[in-house]
């Protein structure tokens, strides 16, 4: 019987197409909030995979109007009862289920302080959606697998749509509209490519590294591997890795490097060289032949996309790598290690 996870992985291009076809009007309303004269920064509340989407938002929404994009500290709202002043904030909650109490509490406090609030969620009838001034629905359809795939990809798509609409960049919109086809091709190719991880042998942990907009991809790939296989993989920016943590990378240590071409590529190329010198076993996700040539297991990006949209494609090899590592460890893909689909935190 095919696992829900495998079905939902293959659903991603259609889910993304549905989001782009239905949510332009919602994105326009939210873009109007971003352009308000009293909005000086964006504050994001999120958990889990949604926090990895928020890392992507830090880059693209930060570019939209050159405003800071920061993360909320939900415990200040829920545990300590000392929420900060939110003057100048647009507060964005990202939650696939819309049922995370602490994310909702951040938006509720923002409303008490008279600040505009936005929810990005897959459930428009959720508590989070009910609190928000505006909702951008993920339109991913029901997701049954514990590990989020299509809701994560559509969270990235929602943020990319918001960027393109907020900046009134028609070329960016056209680039985004081509992404579902790119994702479909990547899924088909990565399904077979992931078997190259078999040659790494027994693993006990690993590192995932990226930089720039794909910092989010590093975190999401590491999370998917942890969730599905139970292997302890940690994510780093290439810059942070070189500042000390690389000392823990010795001969034979597995490192997944996400290195598509773009402004961050040369930094990643430098990191790849340093990792190779230390004898790391490299799994390289890239569209650059030089980077792929350094790999012990190459996971090519089979289609060239603009760098700002590359996380929507680059996450696919990470998802399939996580699935393959789970299969090799005999894990039930739909009930990995006793995890649950929704975690309620305060």
Is there a single domain that holds both residue 202 and residue 298? Answer: yes
Residue range 229-286, pLDDT digits in tens: 999 999 999 999 888 888 888 899 999 999 999 999 999 999 999 999 999 999 999 9
CA distance 106 to 108: 5
In a domain, 224, yes or no: yes
- Band the pLDDT of 44: cuts 50, 70, 90: very high
- Residue 121 and residue 140 share a domain: yes
Last residue within a domain, chosen from 116, 145, 177: 177
The dihedral of CA 158, 160, 162, 168: what is its sign? negative
- Residues 114, 258, single domain; the answer is no
* Strand segments (E) across 222-272: 232-237, 254-258
Tens digit of each residue's pLDDT (9 = 90 or more) over 230-243: 999 999 999 998 88
pTM of the model: 0.95
Whether residues 128 and 225 fall in one domain? no
Q: How do residues 140-196 score in pLDDT, each as one tens digit?
A: 999 998 889 999 999 999 999 999 999 999 999 999 999 999 999 999 999 999 999
Residues 28 and 91 placed together within one structural domain of the fold? yes
Spatial distance between the Cα atoms of 257 and 273, rounded to a whole number of angstroms: 11
Structure tokens at 201: 């042998």
Q: Which of 143, 177, 211 is at the close of a domain?
A: 177
Judge if 188 and 166 occupy the same domain: no
36 with 153, same domain? Answer: yes
Same domain, 64 and 158: yes
The answer to the question of residue 9 being in a domain is yes
CATH code for the domain in which residue 234 is found: 3.40.50.10490
Q: Is residue 342 part of a domain?
A: no
Is residue 46 a contact partner of residue 55, using CB atoms and an 8 Å limit? no
Q: Are strands 281-286 and 297-300 parallel, antiparallel or unpaired?
A: parallel
Domain identity same for 166 and 21: yes
Side-chain-facing half-sphere of 78: CA atoms under 13 Å: 17
Q: How many domains does the chain have?
A: 2
Residue located via tokens 């773009």: 262
In a domain, residue 237? The reply is yes
Domain of 92, in residue numbers: 4-177
For the beta carbon of residue 138, count every other beta carbon within 10 angstroms.
29
Domain boundary among 131, 157, 177: 177
Show Cβ contacts of residue 59 under 8 Å, excluding neighbours closer than 6 positions. Answer: 212, 213, 215, 216, 308
Contacts of 189 by beta carbon, 8 Å cutoff, 6+ apart: 300, 302
């Amino acid at each position: 019987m095919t696992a829900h996870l495998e079905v939902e992985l293959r659903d991603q291009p259609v889910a993304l197409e549905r989001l782009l076809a239905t949510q332009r009007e919602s994105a326009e309303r939210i873009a109007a909030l971003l352009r308000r004269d009293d909005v000086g920064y964006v504050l994001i509340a999120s958990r889990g995979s949604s926090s990895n989407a928020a890392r992507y938002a830090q880059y693209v929404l930060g570019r939209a109007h050159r405003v800071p994009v920061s993360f909320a500290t939900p415990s200040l709202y829920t545990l300590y009862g000392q929420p900060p002043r939110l003057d100048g904030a647009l507060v964005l909650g990202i939650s696939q289920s819309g049922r995370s109490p602490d994310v909702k509490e951040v938006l509720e406090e923002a409303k008490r302080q008279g600040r505009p609030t936005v929810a990005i969620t897959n459930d428009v009838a959720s508590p989070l959606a009910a609190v928000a001034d505006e909702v951008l629905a993920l339109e991913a359809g029901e997701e049954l697998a514990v590990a989020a795939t299509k809701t994560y990809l559509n969270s990235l798509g929602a943020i990319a749509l918001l960027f393109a609409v907020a900046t009134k960049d028609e070329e960016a919109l056209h680039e985004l509209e081509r992404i579902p086809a790119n994702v479909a091709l990547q899924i088909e190719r990565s399904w077979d490519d992931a078997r190259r991880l078999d040659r790494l042998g027994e693993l006990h942990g690993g590192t995932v590294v990226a930089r720039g907009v794909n910092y989010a991809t590093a975190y999401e790939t590491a999370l998917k591997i942890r969730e599905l296989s139970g292997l302890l993989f940690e994510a780093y920016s290439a810059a942070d890795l070189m500042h000390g943590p690389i000392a823990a990378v010795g001969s034979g240590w597995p490192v997944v490097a996400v290195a598509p071409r773009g402004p961050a590529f040369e930094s990643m190329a430098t990191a790849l060289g340093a990792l190779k010198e230390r004898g790391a076993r490299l799994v390289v996700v890239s569209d650059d032949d030089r980077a792929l040539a350094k790999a012990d297991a190459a996971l090519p990006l089979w289609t060239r996309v603009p760098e700002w949209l590359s996380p929507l494609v680059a996450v696919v090899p990470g998802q399939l790598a996580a699935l393959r590592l789970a299969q090799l460890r005999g894990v039930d893909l739909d009930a990995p290690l006793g995890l649950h689909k929704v975690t309620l935190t305060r």
